Amino acid sequence: MTSTRPFKAYRILAGIFVFFFLVLIIHPVLADESASFNKIREKGILRVGISPFTPWVFKGKGGQWVGFEMDVARKLSKDMGVTPKFISYDWEQLIPALQGGQIDIIIAGMAITPQRALKVNFSLPYATSGISLATNIERTKHIKSLEELNSKGIKIGVISATVSEGLAKRIFSRASVMAFKKSDTAEDAIVTGKIHAYMEAKPIPRFIALDHPKKVDVPLSEPLLATKAGFAINKGDPDFLNFLNSWIVAREADTWLPSTHDYWFKSLKWK
């Protein structure tokens, strides 16, 4: 009877060959996916996704982007040794733009939520905020409590695809929640009385009330919900995430982050 050992040996060798062949094919792909942080540094450009919300991001007098997130992005880029390239999107387009490879990072005061974390990787929080409420004085002069706002015929304004929208639908389930794509449109609606109230991250409601004291007020002393913002990047890049977390820890320790946050959110010097 003919021995089958040589045949078995060939099968083993063939299996080993196939294994190493697959490793050679797959390894560059895996390496390429995990090398985006190094590629950003090699190219020298960090593509930053932003969305206009004063005082996070807005156009200054010279037409340049300014605000808290702009200061953060420029400082982060400098410490990375790269130049930031800012690309503006409507809020709901930020995560799709990141997933589609149009940008490298979202720096836009994005609140960390479990739903968003299914799509992106968040850094440690670098800023704390909260959802507050601005009301039109004329349209709410007969309303004495928060519960009375939760009624048919009441219009609550929010920015679409934000934490505010989900919170408004939960708290004011009987009212009509109107979602706006841009903050300036929502602000105009509360000032002109097209809506009864506007839910937005602090300190926007307070700023609107300060700018229009006879038309808008902030009836609540405490936020409806506290939120924490983090940088958002694509999944599968641990080196980038490690750098971002380390940067946040270092810039909180040397007080750069808290002092910059206070300048934009606890004073009106920038105005």
CATH number listed for the domain at residues 36-129+228-265: 3.40.190.10
7-25 residue pLDDT tens: 444 455 455 444 444 444 4
Banded model confidence at residue 269, pLDDT cuts 50, 70, 90: confident
Each domain of the chain, given as residue ranges in start order, spans 36-129+228-265, 130-226
CA–CA dist 245, 123 (Å, integer):
6
The per-residue pLDDT for range 20-78, each reduced to its tens digit, is: 444 444 444 443 443 489 999 999 999 999 999 889 999 998 889 999 999 999 999 99
Q: Which residue has the tokens 């990047």?
A: 233
For residue 183, which of 206, 199, 196 has the smallest C-alpha distance? 199
Domain 130-226 = CATH 3.90.550.10: no
Q: How distant, in Å, are the alpha carbons of 5, 42, 169, 203, 231 from that of 159?
A: 71, 37, 12, 15, 20
In this predicted model, what pLDDT tens digit does every residue of 121-172 receive, in sequence order? Answer: 999 999 998 999 999 999 999 999 999 999 999 999 999 989 999 999 999 9
pLDDT at 192 over 50: yes
Structure confidence at residue 267 (pLDDT): 78
The span from the CA of 86 to the CA of 58, in Å, is 12
196 pLDDT more than 70? yes
Residue 101 has pLDDT above 60, yes or no: yes
36-129+228-265 and 130-226 share one fold:
yes
Q: What local confidence, expressed as pLDDT, does residue 234 receive? A: 97
Assigned token pair, 185: 């449109």
Q: pTM for this one?
A: 0.76
* Residues 164, 170, 174, 177, Cα dihedral to 10°: 20
What percentage of residues in the chain have a pLDDT greater than 70? 87
The structure tokens listed for 33 are 């996916």
Quick: pLDDT tens for 224-255. Answer: 999 999 999 999 999 999 999 999 999 999 99
Q: Is 213 helix (H, G, I), strand (E, B) or coil?
A: coil
What percent of the chain is predicted at pLDDT more than 90?
76
Strand pairing report for 121-136 and 197-201 = antiparallel
